[in-house]
Structure 1
């Protein structure tokens, strides 16, 4: 297969194959995967033009060996509904919170450990803040909201969205052609290479990204993402207010290497940090060190969570 051609599964309107080797289930308009037995772990994927639960495949496969692991397809992505609606941080956070239902049904009561990737970290953090007794330990991989010196302490629930840009991107005349251009196989490969900081990307992930971008309605959530609608303008206050134990990790290669603003939580006793010589998804590149650190973090006892209060200035 030429690297700039679509994999066979990416033909228009071809049913999307499973992203993960687990049981696929639905919860209303949400799709998710589940596998394994033991204490629950919820995974929340990154957000981009072709995001899905496929982003967390190595973590899902590893965690299923000793836990009940759940991987959510966020609204507008993967096997979840992709209708033309308002895609907001609240919609995404509510989807994370909704997963508490099937998790408790399968695993019983008790705190749920949760891991987010990139922008998914913002939804995970907000869910952990809104339901502190429901979540145990919080793992954040390459979390957004920490780049540069910009302060993100806006009003509660505010976003970085630009309404004019969203109107421009979603104009009927060109929104679909624009999205198809952004998700051509070669373009998807280019952005994955920038995520990795290398041409040695995961080919299975690339193929699934191309396939999921060919599904009906695939453009709606990504175009909201491109307009900034899914980025929270108050996220630094949210991060500072999380009461649960937090492990934040990231790489040093590619486009996602600026974490200067992480200094705002560096002194908090419930936060710990790891840096890997990789791109933004270290679990693909250095799985053993990453999983050793993740397993040690998740295995530690979780103290009773106090009731957090969103910090204000």
Structure 2
């Protein structure tokens, strides 16, 4: 991305934050924060096409969540609380740099849960939300469990992190061929973005890269109460639903679809449709910000 990258210190540890200001006349929109998804090889590279598009119109930031990209990857517990605190920290920086402006947020997949929690906890920091292929709507079972809880499986995390095979398991999950396989499932197509694949391979080779993903695989980053938060959410929410690949099940959207602040939009393509048709995607997204 054509952007400044810097490290910020926060209660969630050291965070990597990209930023760019529009060149020339902007549309007068507030700053926008982009948040990548959560997987074994996640980073801000997942939002690169959107970042470059939006930076021509408004101030844009891209956060790398704890455990991913250039953010701190130390050995610690990775939970929705940690990820939400990272969003709060990034939003505080954005407000301080833009005269207290309330930002818009676009989050991919599981990170949408963190963005919704941040909006619920501090509504004065987020104006509008966009969720691309969000979790919490698939299958027949909704999540109305204990507030702040996670779906974490201690026995699975213990099994995955036994010293004699911990790194081997992560290495197997992030072999170039395996990363390509999962990207094909995300795209629902053989025609993935090759630059993103190369970057995924690279970022998964960094020191500490296994720490957050093993918590993710053990379900510790999924919230037990997310559907309660979805239904309590105030303010405009735009949802992009994939039509191909592994993330096309949104049968649970009926729990919020009748609310006037929620808008669901089926967009042809996989779970990251802006890599396939940036113009088509942004033509549907941009009116939401206005």
Give the TM-score, by structure 2 length.
0.95
- CA distance, structure 1, for counterparts of residue 275 and residue 197 of structure 2: 13
Among residues 107, 125, 134, which one is paired with 1:134 in the alignment? 125
Q: Residue 201 of structure 2 corresponds to which residue in structure 1?
A: 210
Tell me which residue corresponds to 1:8: none
Task: Answer yes or no: is the 8 Å Cα contact 1:151–1:236 preserved in 2.
Answer: yes
Equivalences for residues 191-206 of structure 1 within 5 A: 191-206=182-197
Tell me what 2:254 maps to: 263
Matched residues in 1 for 2:95 and 2:250: separation? 35
Partner of 2:124, secondary structure, is: coil
Q: How does 1:97-108 map to 2 (within 5 A)?
A: 97-108=88-99
1:276 to 258, 267, 277: 267
State yes or no: 1:24 paired with 2:15: no
Cα separation, 2, equivalents of 1:169 and 1:204: 30
1:34 corresponds, among 19, 33, 36, to: 19
Q: CA deviation at 1:105?
A: 2.4
SS of 2:92 mapped into structure 1: helix
Contact map agreement 2:31 2:101 (CA 8 A) in 1:
no
Per the TM alignment, residue 216 of structure 1 is displaced from its structure 2 partner at its CA by: 0.3
Q: Which residue of 2 aligns with 1:53?
A: 44
Taking the TM superposition and a 5 Å limit, the aligned residue runs for 1:60-209 are 60-209=51-200
1:21 is displaced (CA, Å) by 2.4
Counterpart-to-counterpart distance in 2, 1:280 and 1:145: 15
* Number of aligned residue pairs: 280
Aligned mates of 1:242, 1:54 — CA distance in 2: 28
CA distance in 2, matches of 1:160, 1:209: 26
The TM-score normalised by the length of structure 1 is: 0.88
**Contact map agreement 1:250 1:281 (CA 8 A) in 2:** no
Inter-partner Cα distance in structure 2 for 1:27 and 1:180: 29
Alpha-carbon distance between aligned partners in 2 of 1:277 and 1:133, rounded to the nearest angstrom = 33
- Whether the aligned pair in 1 keeps the contact of 2:95 and 2:102 (CA below 8 Å) is no
Deviation of the 1:110 alpha carbon: 2.2
| 1:111-170 CA distance string (max 9 Å, x none) | 110000000100011001111111100000000011011120001011111010011111
Deviation string for 1:21-57 (max 9, x for gaps)? 2100111100010012462000111000000111111
**Whole-Å Cα distance in 2 between the matches of residues 232 and 21 of structure 1?**
34
Q: Secondary structure at the match of 1:91?
A: helix
For the residue of structure 2 that corresponds to 1:99, the secondary structure is: helix
Structure 2 gap ranges (5+): none
CA apart distance, 1:81: 0.3
C-alpha distance in structure 1 between counterparts of 2:157 and 2:235, whole Å: 35
SS at match of 1:116: strand
CA distances 1:55-107 after superposition (whole Å, capped 9, x unpaired): 11111011100111000000000000000100000000000010122212221
